[in-house]
Amino acid sequence: MHVTKSNLKNLKNRVAKPSGKKATQGQELSKKQKIYILLGTWAVFFVPLFFVYIMLWSIPEDELPSIKQLENPKSDEASAVYDLNGEIIGTYYISNRIKVSYQELSPYLVDALVATEDERYFEHSGVDGWALARAVGGAVTLQNKGGGSTITQQLSKMMFHKASKNKFGRIRQKFAEWIIAVQLEKRYTKKEIVAMYFNEFDFLNTAVGIHSASRIYFNKLPKDLAIQEAAMLVGMAKNPSIFNPVKDSTATLKRREVVLSQMLKNDFLTQNQYDSLRVLPIGLDFKPETHTTGLAPYFREYVKQETIKIIKEKNLENNFEEPYNIYTDGLKIYTTLDAQMQEYAEWAVNEHLSKQLQEELNKNIEKNKNYPFDNNVSSKKATGYLLAEMKKSDRYKNLKSLGWTDSKIEENFNKKTTLTVFDWASPKHTKEVEMTPMDSIKYHLKVLRVGLVSLDPKTGFIKAYVGGPDFSFFKFDYASQAKRQVGSTIKPFVYAAGIESGLFTPCTEIPDIQYCVELPDGKQWCPAGEGFEGTSTPMYYGLASSSNPYTAYVINKMGGKNTRVVKYLSNMGMKNSSVKEYPSLGLGVCDQSVIDMTAAHTVFSSKGKYHTPIAILRIEDANGKVLYESNVKTKEIMSKEVAFDVLKMMKGVTGVKRPADGKWGGTGTRLRNQKNDYYFNGTMAGKTGTTQGNTDGWFIGHTPSLVTGVWVGCDHSKVHFKSTKYGQGANTSLPIWGYYMKKVYADKSIKLNRGDFNPPVVGATTVIECIKDTTIIEEMDPWGF
């Protein structure tokens, strides 16, 4: 074919552009692509929004907190017990949480939390879109770019949601938390939400909330936390089980460094601060808190019962119109206890019982034929006592609940097993041993119990209180729950009754002979005594020496019934079935608690006035509203002159000379012996007490600012010292008083009158007028009763 120029041009045109039909088809394909792209874009943006809308719309109202719950969120808050100086000494709790305000937080806590958990916290309104997008992007790309939950969302979860059982349930919770977070932000300031977050978080080890966490991990208040301490606690928020300083200090330090680096990144720290802080040790001062450990556990239990009684009697109700719950309503209970004096009291008990007295008892009774009971107890009775103790035990009750017969249980109690027993010498007084449960009962029956109460005689305020050797093992309180025979500690009231009746004065002298009281049936009651040399003896010497015959003389002079003594006790609220108008009452044959007997003795140090013991000064609710305030309750029991006469007579407990023959008396002379570690040289008065068979040993000592009573004995009345040398109150209880008072007087931070007692009339003498020789003797070591 011949190719012309015209043909060539047409050919070029055909090659250069397609046919009209094909060009139209290409343009239609481009439009479809655009539509697909547009639809895809809408799907990416609006389908998730629609899903979110559906999820939010599908959440029923009953899964969201009500307005009332949002405005008054309820979380268990521990009730705190404070000492006289406002220091926390313990808590009552289901969750050990004490709430704090934003102003009570260290600024480092806030900086660390915001830097680590929610960098835009002060910019969003509860939900952070950027953080959410970052988290979703990380999930899509399988990269960990941080969580999307804000501080407010995390608070929503802590306050209103429990752990979900499945993933879909957790997704629904997440959406609900968005709604709750927005509602919280409407009702609370940013600062309030931060405080709520710190109050709500559980730091484990009974440290719920930042107040408990600061106290338990660092022994500090939240406002006093250092930067590195705040960083460690905030670091625990990621997972307190993993980043726990008690469990894994290495992981916790690494997590702390992450928090510090976030603080650096957000300009809360300088590079120099970061470099120096990151290498610091963890610096724990770990002090775990439980209901059974810590300072003054018996006192805290006593205060708990008193608080519950006050709530009931005063009909105190919370915002929900329910009686206050001491475990959940965050009460603040301010007490009369002096924490420093309490430490000295607990130390004194430990010092005497663990280092001397318990070992003396162990040796004294180890060869008893029916150990640990005294030799007057038959084998049959001993078996009965042990079976009775067995039935009181938790082990018995647990086995009985399983349907075991008594014979099967008894067989179990006589098989060796590994048991935990009390032991003074072991850490935390705890020791594991191989023995039968029955042998464990015998072992613990011989553990000496103790009660100590120290009162301000002018107010009745309880300054120190010990109810036993160890609350973890022995819950029964021997300061207030136990009523034991009081022995010769009652004799000052007998002498007071005689003086007030006008029958004699402290200087009245009677011959040292046997004295008897005629009983209603015509028989004679003649208490045993020593000497009976007929020597003329003043009444003050009789009380100082705790002479039973001299006391019988007074009882007989008053008609033999101790009527006035019964009146004294009744007026002080101490009348019980053991208090009877009978001669032997004057020798202490009646049962009283340590706190009641000590309070009774304050009459002599407070010019004849009785003050009801007070443990609680006031109770406030969680917001500081005063719910209850105590008032000093005073009652006149005897004249101030009579009370002071008896007090002067009781000064002779540490040594007094009989004028007729120069013989020294006084059942507490060992207090003045400088060879004894519990030597005490301050002005004091007191009375020992020892009951029949050495079952109970007492000492109640007076100083101008304190009256302190101590009782020591075993739980079972048939377990006791064989010898009065060891079992008398002067050996069991008096040394504890001496150790305690020596520590208290040496501590000049404790404000006390360390001088002499104030007489009822200014300028009056503070010693017995007829005493000519006031020499203080070193020690006579008599066996006082």
The conformational region for residue 429 under phi > 0 = left, psi -120 to 50 = alpha, else beta, is: left
Tell me the per-residue pLDDT of 571-617, one tens digit each, with 9 for 90 and over.
999 999 999 999 999 999 999 999 999 999 999 999 999 999 999 99
Return the closest-CA partner of residue 93 out of 251, 271, 272, 300: 300
Residues 6+ apart with CB under 8 A from 716: 373, 385, 389, 445
Planar angle of CA 726, 730, 735, nearest 5 degrees: 100
SS3 334: strand
d(CA 282, CA 260): 13
Six token digits for residue 37: 């792209």
Cis bond before residue 107 (omega within 30° of 0)? no
* pLDDT confidence of residue 784: 39
At 548, the pLDDT band (50, 70, 90 cuts) reads very high
* pLDDT confidence of residue 140: 41
* pLDDT confidence of residue 203: 96
Using DSSP bridges, classify how beta strands 685-690 and 430-435 pair: parallel, antiparallel or unpaired: unpaired
Tell me the per-residue pLDDT of 704-754, one tens digit each, with 9 for 90 and over.
999 999 999 999 999 999 999 999 999 999 999 999 999 999 999 999 999
More confident: 638 or 170: 638
Residues 6+ apart with CB under 8 A from 330: 77, 78, 79, 80, 97, 98, 99, 621, 622
* pLDDT confidence of residue 332: 98
* pLDDT confidence of residue 12: 43
SS3 781: coil
Tell me the per-residue pLDDT of 165-196, one tens digit each, with 9 for 90 and over.
555 455 566 667 777 878 888 889 999 999 99
DSSP codes, 60-87: -GGGS--HHHHHS----B-EEEE-TTS-
d(CA 566, CA 585): 9
At 29, the pLDDT band (50, 70, 90 cuts) reads low
Over residues 300-311, mean pLDDT: 98
Residues 6+ apart with CB under 8 A from 753: 703, 704, 705
Six token digits for residue 285: 């001062």
Q: At what angle do helices 594-605 and 491-500 cross, to 10 degrees?
A: 40
φ/ψ of 123, rounded to 5, equals: -110, -30
pLDDT at 323 > cutoff 50: yes
Provide the residue type at 716 as one letter: H
At 772, the pLDDT band (50, 70, 90 cuts) reads low
d(CA 269, CA 266): 8
How many other CB atoms are found less than 10 A from the CB of residue 555? 27
Burial letters 615-647, b for 16+ CB under 10 A, else e: bbbebbbbeeeebbebeeeeeebbebbbbbbbb
SS3 318: coil
pTM of structure:
0.86
Largest pairwise CA distance in the chain:
173
d(CA 633, CA 730): 32
Q: At what angle do helices 394-401 and 406-413 cross, to 10 degrees?
A: 140
Is residue 678 within 8 A of residue 742, CB to CB? The reply is yes
How many other CB atoms are found less than 10 A from the CB of residue 31? 9
Helices (H) and strands (E) in the chain, counts: 28, 22
Tell me the per-residue pLDDT of 654-707, one tens digit each, with 9 for 90 and over.
999 999 999 999 999 999 999 999 999 999 999 999 999 999 999 999 999 999
Residue 412: Cβ-neighbour burial (10 angstroms; 0-12, 13-18, 19+): middle
Is residue 100 within 8 A of residue 198, CB to CB? The reply is yes
Six token digits for residue 640: 């101030």
Tell me the per-residue pLDDT of 491-518, one tens digit each, with 9 for 90 and over.
999 999 999 999 999 999 999 999 999 9
Tell me the per-residue pLDDT of 422-438, one tens digit each, with 9 for 90 and over.
999 999 999 999 999 99
d(CA 177, CA 159): 10
